[in-house]
Amino acid sequence: MDYSYPFSIEWSTEEIIDVVRFFEAIERAYEKGITRQELFTCYRKFKKIVPAISEEKTFFREFEDESGYASFPVIKEMKTGTDDKVIKLQKK
């Protein structure tokens, strides 16, 4: 992994950890697969830290630019799935 995760210097250490875990969950959705429930838990924590859609889009774009992993398709798949569903996407 040769990239960094997006974060704000205004966040606490715990918040930074939660955001990094969320982006790690996005990575897993592409690399190995992740359960909808696990991803949803990470996303809920992320949304408590980044509640504004505009900010979310900014962080998603920064992460995709750094890593090549698009967050939006993963979140879209999460919202349409069932709890036992494993989310696995192909990296473009």
Q: For tokens 């950890």, what's the residue?
A: 17
Give a yes or no: residue 6 inside a domain: no
Q: What is the DSSP letter of 10?
A: T
pLDDT, residue 3, reads 79
**Is residue 8 a part of any domain in this protein?**
no
> Can you give the CATH number for the domain in which 47 is found?
1.10.220.80
What's the pLDDT score for residue 32?
95
Hey, how many other C-beta atoms are within 10 angstroms of the C-beta on 87?
Answer: 24
Tens digit of each residue's pLDDT (9 = 90 or more) over 36-74: 999 999 999 999 999 999 999 999 999 999 999 999 999
1 falls within a domain: no
Q: Is residue 26 part of a domain?
A: yes
Q: Considering the entire predicted model, what is its pTM?
A: 0.92
Contacts of 82 (CB under 8 A, 6+ apart): 36
Query: H or E stretch including 36?
Result: helix 36-49
| Range(s) of the domain holding residue 53 | 13-83
Task: Give 16's Cβ-side CA count (13 Å radius).
Answer: 10
Domain count, the chain: 1
